[in-house]
Amino acid sequence: MKKILVLHTGGTISMAEDANGHVSPNEKNPMDAVDMQFANATIISEDIFNLPSPHITLEHMLTLKKRIDAAFDEDFDGAVITHGTDTLEETAFFLDSTIKRGKPIVITGAMRSSNELGTDGIYNLLTAIRVASDEDSYGRGVLVVMNDEIHSARFVTKTHTTNVSTFQTPTHGPLGLLTKNKIFYFHNDRENQHLDIQSVHGNVPIIKAYAGMTGEIFDLFDSINLDGLVIEALGAGNLPPTAAHSVEKLLAKKLPIILVSRCFNGIAEPVYDYEGGGSRLHDAGVIFAPEVNSQKARIKLIIGLNAGLSLENGLENFMEN
């Protein structure tokens, strides 16, 4: 018999719709009323927060990490988290990057609130518990389970504003799926580097590049106290020339600048050798973060900085792997 901890954090899965079609949080979490009878698992539930996920901060993510660490030091065999979908991938990535792989951690949510027609919350919660109590889920890192699919926290992203199949894994594909009776894994994800941090300080904004971008936004950053910057660059990792010029001025001040692509699929690499091209940006000191989107690159940078990494001490290696 597995002992699974369910941590509710809020989100649409715990919300309800009113007569005007507006969706908002409930005083009492409807997920607490779900019948949790499993042949192979005992469920203990806690309402750790009741927040829409746009209200979730890195401090909340750290609180969740500490609660899961404590539960795993006790006799829990796995953890399930219910979470709003807007920032679910960020919490999933944070936990995957700060907790050593072993006992299953599964995150789920819903696209339709608890009293809406075709609500997906209870179904997703029950399938997440099935995955967390399955022997084969051990050692796979943090998993996102929604709509009968299992995704790696490292690569999954929210792709649709309203559709129940919103969580997808561009480039890599899902790790597995659930049928009525079985769980199938058809990929093994590589181990994600994890750092056991105790703080989450850092001011790290994300900037998106576009055709005709000038350097003004980067020049503004010159006067703000930043700990790092993440740029969603064009294509394989390039910037318009004037933007690149201003980025080089920030690099001269030893600011960690992380580059990912604004493309939905693929991996950014330093390839192009022209003004603003990726290979020149890389030579100037821009760090390319492969296989993560900008919101995950930002979390990864904050984790690295809070673990004591710096440009002189291992930050580039951490971000590039």
Ligand X SMILES: NC(=O)C[C@H](N)C(=O)O
**Minimum distance, C-beta of residue 168 to ligand X, in the bound complex (Å):** 15
Following CA atoms 87, 92, 95, 100 in sequence, which dihedral angle do they give, to the nearest 10 degrees? Answer: -170
Residues 6+ away with beta carbon under 8 Å from 200: 58, 59, 61, 62, 302, 303, 306
State the residue number with the nearest CB to ligand X.
Answer: 84
| Residues of the shown chain interacting with ligand X in the complex, contacts defined by CB under 6 A | 11-12, 52-53, 84-86, 109, 111
Q: Which of 9, 12, 91, 169 is catalytic?
A: 12
Choice among 9, 85, 119, 169 that is catalytic: 85
Shortest distance (Å) from residue 78 CB to ligand X: 22
Based on CB atoms, which residue is closest to ligand X, 167 or 221? 167
Query: C-beta of 12: minimal distance to ligand X in Å?
Result: 3
DSSP for 41-77?
EEEEEEE-----GGG--HHHHHHHHHHHHHHHHTT--
CB of 8 to ligand X, least distance (A): 12
**Least Å distance between CB 112 and ligand X?**
8
3-state secondary structure of 8: strand
Within a 10 A sphere around the Cβ of 260, how many other Cβ atoms?
24
Classify the C-alpha dihedral 248-250-253-259 as positive or negative.
Answer: negative
Task: Give bridge partners of residue 184 from the DSSP assignment.
Answer: 177
Q: Residue 86, by phi and psi: left (phi above 0), alpha (psi -120 to 50) or beta? A: alpha
Residue type, 321: N
Pairwise CA distance, residues 208 & 276, whole Å: 15
Token pair recorded at residue 81 = 């988290």
Name the residue among 77, 229, 181, 81 with its Cα closest to residue 138.
77
Rounded to whole angstroms, how far apart are CA atoms 29 and 292? 33
CB of 170 to ligand X, least distance (A): 20
Consecutive H or E run containing 229: strand 229-233
Gap between the Cα atoms of 79 and 73, Å rounded: 12
Identify whether 87 is a catalytic site residue. Answer: no
280 and 274 Cβ atoms separated by less than 8 Å:
yes
Query: Which of 163, 317 has the CB closer to ligand X?
Result: 163
242 is catalytic: no
State the catalytic residues.
Answer: 12, 85
